[in-house]
Amino acid sequence: MTQTTSNQALLNPKLKSVSCESRAGELAPARLFRYPRQVVVK
């Protein structure tokens, strides 16, 4: 679940914004392992 959402967020910048605010807690751990740079930028 978290991985799929993470990938979709990266493909869709607008979706990423909503996802970040909607499920910041769920995506935080997944992105930390998959895309650490994304977290740093945020």
pTM comes to: 0.16
- Checking if the pLDDT of 40 tops 60, the result is no
pLDDT in tens, 18-39: 544 555 555 555 555 555 555 5
Q: Which amino acid is at 33?
A: F
What are the sequence ranges of the domains in the chain? 2-41
In this structure, what token pair is assigned to residue 6? 């993470």
Q: How far apart are the first and last CA of the chain?
A: 21
